[in-house]
Amino acid sequence: MVVSQLDPQLTHMFKGTRRIAVLGLSPDPAKASYGVALYLREFYEIVPVNPNYDEILGLACYPSVASIPEPVDMVDVFQRSERVIDFIDDALASKAPFFWMQLGIRNRAARERLEAEGVQVVEDLCTKVEHARLRRQGALA
């Protein structure tokens, strides 16, 4: 069993989440964002965020996180690392307590700004992989 020093934080984030805004969700089943959202949908309410579409996965798609009418608990980001900073004001406006940058995505300036506002941040990890691993280990029911 692989246990990460981040496991308590990740477990807290997953347990404290009901609604996830998937920023950059693609309607293309070949894209990672699609597969991750499909998996997470089994456990959470998923809200697609992509200004290029009205609907993804049969769900209303919003142009920004701040435009989602209900509160979100986590912003799950599928964007290039250098673009993440462009979405920080939007994420902060949503008041989501958790901000997750997917596998391969890191942005120090974004992390520092979010953490200064009290947002818990994860970089360079996949929500699907980590959720499934924590479920297998019994940390998530």
Question: If 0-12 CB within 10 Å is exposed, 13-18 middle and 19+ buried, where does residue 109 land?
Answer: exposed
Residues 27 and 52: their CA atoms lie apart, in Å, by 10
Residue corresponding to tokens 């818990």: 120
Domain boundaries, the chain: 7-136
Q: Report pTM.
A: 0.94
Under CATH, what is the fold of the domain 7-136? Rossmann fold (3.40.50)
Tens digit of each residue's pLDDT, the chain (141 residues): 455 788 999 999 999 999 999 999 999 999 999 999 999 999 999 999 999 999 999 999 999 999 999 999 999 999 999 999 999 999 999 999 999 999 999 999 999 999 999 999 999 999 999 999 999 999 997
